[in-house]
Amino acid sequence: MFNALIGQAPNFEAMLRSAKMVAATDVTVLIYGETGTGKELLANALQSQGPRARKPYITLNCAALPESLVESELFGHRRGAFTGAVANQTGRLQAADGGTLFMDEADSLPLPVQAKLLRFLETGDIQPVGDSPPFRVDVRIIAATNVNLEEKIAKGEFRKDLYYRLNVVPLEIPPLRERMGDIQLLLNHFLRHFATAHKQPQPTLSNRTLARFLDYGWPGNVRELRNVCERLCILLAGRHIEEEELPEDIARTTVQWGEFILPDEGVELEQLEIGLIQQALDRTHDNRSRAARLLGITRDTLLYRMQKYNMR
Ligand X SMILES: Nc1ncnc2c1ncn2[C@@H]1O[C@H](COP(=O)(O)OP(=O)(O)OP(=O)(O)O)[C@@H](O)[C@H]1O
Residues 6 or more apart from 216 whose CB is under 8 A from it? 253, 254, 255, 257
How far is the CA of 217 from the CAs of 178, 182, 258, 281, in angstroms? 9, 13, 9, 26
List 5, 121, 214, 303, residue binding ligand X (CB under 6 A): 5
Query: Binding partner of residue 222 among ligand X, Mg ion, none, CB under 5 to 8 Å per kind?
Result: ligand X
Give the residue among 108, 103, 128 at the shortest CA–CA distance from 28: 103
- Nearest distance in Å: CB 114, ligand X: 20
Angstrom distance (rounded) from CA 51 to CA 133: 30
Q: Does 222 bind ligand X (CB under 6 A)?
A: yes
Question: With respect to ligand X, which residue has the nearer C-beta, 173 or 277?
Answer: 173
180 in contact with ligand X (CB under 6 A): no
- Answer yes or no: are the C-beta atoms of 93 and 75 closer than 8 Å: yes
Q: Which of residues 233-292 bind ligand X (CB under 6 A)?
A: none
Q: Which does 7 bind (CB under 5 to 8 A by kind): ligand X, Mg ion, none?
A: ligand X
Stretch of 3-11, 72-80, 287-295, 297-305 contacting ligand X, by CB under 6 A: 3-11
Q: Which does 179 bind (CB under 5 to 8 A by kind): Mg ion, ligand X, none?
A: none
Give yes or no for residue 303 binding ligand X (CB under 6 A): no
Q: Could you tell me which stretch among 87-95, 219-227, 253-261, 278-286 binds ligand X (CB under 6 A)?
A: 219-227
175 torsion bin: left (phi>0), alpha (psi -120 to 50), beta (else): beta
Binders of ligand X among 135-164, rule CB under 6 A? Answer: 146
Minimum distance between the CB of residue 23 and ligand X, rounded to whole angstroms? 16
Query: In 3D, which of 172, 124, 147 has the Cα closest to residue 26?
Result: 124
Residue closer to ligand X (CB basis): 88 or 202: 202
How many other β-carbons are positioned within 10 Å of the β-carbon of residue 294?
A: 18
DSSP for residue 57: E
Q: With binding defined as CB under 6 A, does residue 226 bind ligand X?
A: yes
The nearest distance, CB 310 to Mg ion, in angstroms, is: 43
CB of 61 to Mg ion, least distance (A): 8
Q: Which one of ligand X, Mg ion, none is in contact with 174 (Cβ closer than 5 to 8 A by kind)?
A: none
Instruction: Tell me the closest approach of the beta carbon of residue 140 to ligand X, in angstroms.
Output: 19
Provide, rounded to whole angstroms, the least separation between the CB of residue 192 and ligand X.
12
151, burial (CB in 10 Å: exposed 0-12, middle 13-18, buried 19+):
exposed
Q: Among 93, 115, 127, 101, which Cα is nearest to 163's? A: 115
Does residue number 212 form part of the binding site for ligand X (CB under 6 A)?
no
Gyration radius (Cα) of the chain, Å: 24
As a whole number of angstroms, the distance between CA 40 and CA 220 comes to: 14
Q: Interface with ligand X by CB under 6 A: which residues?
A: 5-7, 33, 35-41, 146, 222-223, 226
